[in-house]
Structure 1
């Protein structure tokens, strides 16, 4: 590796619950998280934004929330559906509503866009999300020059436990293997496990890894620079 390597560590699900939001703030203060994606539909969103006000170095993006699916045996079953994702007009209206709610809560535009369970990878959500990001002048996950790393995740595709993927050693290994350029690493920390999601016991383990001294050491030794989205796109910096 001869070029500059920069890493955005983005925590999804900010505002989903008190434990998740507290875990993200702790992972920013005591760990390596530089950015968070806010779920504006949930009751904890306002509390999360209030907590973030004291941490201006933590970017806030919009985590577009249209549905959630959980693995049950060999199937994936919906736990909630916000909008028919085959209906482009309905999708566009919902994303616009969530963006407006974000602005009401934060007092600024998001520094980046992504989506819950990556629903923006498929049409028509993809093109609507891309148009929204373009209008805002901010990145949309997995659509631009920023490399995406989703390997720091404690479950397999059908919910099989993968605790070895979220240890400090695993995270340090991912850091050492980063390519030149900018990478976004996704994470889902929380201060405690909660029953409303199947990705539960893994969240406190992620928090431990994100705050581990060995991970900081790996960053220093590899010469990887932590950054956030607004440092790459100054025009998107929040006014909060």
Structure 2
């Protein structure tokens, strides 16, 4: 009996801290967010998978280009994909609505509010966190997004929160975690001591992004890290997508695509002995 409990405890520890138990090298998840918000993002994200270093892709279910995202992902059955839970519609010229009847989550036109938190450009009247939102409606919307995604994308492994939407209240975070477990999508980087990796230096131009990213790679220490950004192409579609305070979307996101697929970045990853991993690898 004691041997059984010892083995059960060992299995539990290895399943919850597998990477820490196996080696002490540098591991990096490269996550590309917002698949589905535009055609240009969909294609750029796929390029960053095929030719670059993206290891996990986040899909926004309520967005207009979700059907194309589904079709593209069918060609990559081994790719690690997450549901990017979406409770905002931030862009000025393209909008999306809840999949469910959720009036407490929408503005006067029935769209999600642009922001989660008020900021210098968007006041409390345009921020979801300042509305009289209903937890029941948030739960039903998250559940609907999960179920639509699972119906269409078999390689899903996890959830993530667009614009930090689940952080508006502890009870929302609790619902998010409950549903992740219910649908077997409960891979949360914070549970695996994953550290956020960010650019080190200026990142206004593509050249600066590349330099700042490689500098970040050079300074990573042993452990598991995650880098998050948003590839897209600088094309007329993306030039028409913006919101107040973020007008250079096309230029900015083309720079992300270029950086993620740059041969010098690939070479730096090899040079510094960095192992690229995905969310799914955290449980192995």
Q: TM-score range by the shorter chain?
A: 0.7 to 0.9
Question: 2:215 and 2:264 mapped to 1: Cα distance?
Answer: 10
Q: Which residue of 1 aligns with 2:216?
A: 174
Structure 1: which 5+ runs fail to align? 156-160, 235-240
- State the partner residue of 1:119: 165
Q: Residue 169 of structure 1 contacts residue 215 of structure 1 at CA under 8 Å; is this kept in 2? A: no
Hey, what does 1:217 align to over in structure 2?
267
Cross-structure match for 1:36: 57
After TM superposition, the score normalised by the length of structure 1 is 0.81
Moved over 3 A (4+): 68-73, 77-81, 152-155, 161-166
Q: Give deviations 1:63-83, integer Å, cap 9, x for gaps.
A: 0000134699823357796xx
Aligned residues of 1:152 and 1:166 also touching (Cα < 8 A)? no
State whether structure 2 residue 193 is matched by structure 1 residue 187: no
Q: Which runs of 5+ in 2 are unaligned?
A: 1-22, 91-113
Q: Alignment partner of 1:63: what SS?
A: strand
Q: Is the 8 A contact 1:153 1:166 kept in 2?
A: no
How far does residue 32 in structure 1 lie from its aligned partner after superposition? Answer: 0.4
**Corresponding residue of 2:136:** 89
Equivalent positions of 1:35-184 (< 5 A) are 35-67=56-88, 68=90, 69=114, 74-77=120-123, 86-107=133-154, 110-123=156-169, 124-135=171-182, 136-140=184-188, 143-149=190-196, 151-152=198-199, 162-163=204-205, 167-184=209-226
> What's the secondary structure of 1:37's corresponding residue?
strand
Matched, 1:231 2:281: yes
- Matches of 2:222 and 2:44, distance apart in 1: 29
Query: What's 1:158 paired with?
Result: none
The CA deviation string for residues 128-165 of structure 1, in whole angstroms up to 9 with x for no partner, is 11222233253235x3224242624999xxxxx84479
Cα displacement string for residues 203-226 of structure 1 (whole angstroms, at most 9, x for unaligned residues): 001001111111111111111101
Bigger helix share:
2
Note the aligned Cα RMSD (angstroms): 3.1
Distance in 2 separating the partners of 1:47 and 1:32: 22
Give the Å deviation of 1:102: 0.5
1:206 to 247, 253, 256: 256
Q: How big is the shift at 1:186?
A: 0.4
3-state SS, counterpart of residue 11 of structure 1? strand
Q: Kindly name which structure, 1 or 2, has the bigger radius of gyration based on alpha carbons.
A: 2
In the alignment, the residues of structure 2 paired with residue 59 and residue 85 of structure 1 have an alpha-carbon distance, to the nearest angstrom, of 35
Q: How many residues align?
A: 226
Q: TM-score, normalised by structure 2?
A: 0.70
SS of match in other structure, 1:112: strand
Against the structure 1 CA distance between its residues 73 and 137, is the aligned structure 2 distance closer, same or farther, given a 3 Å change threshold? closer
Q: Is the 8 A contact 2:217 2:268 kept in 1?
A: yes
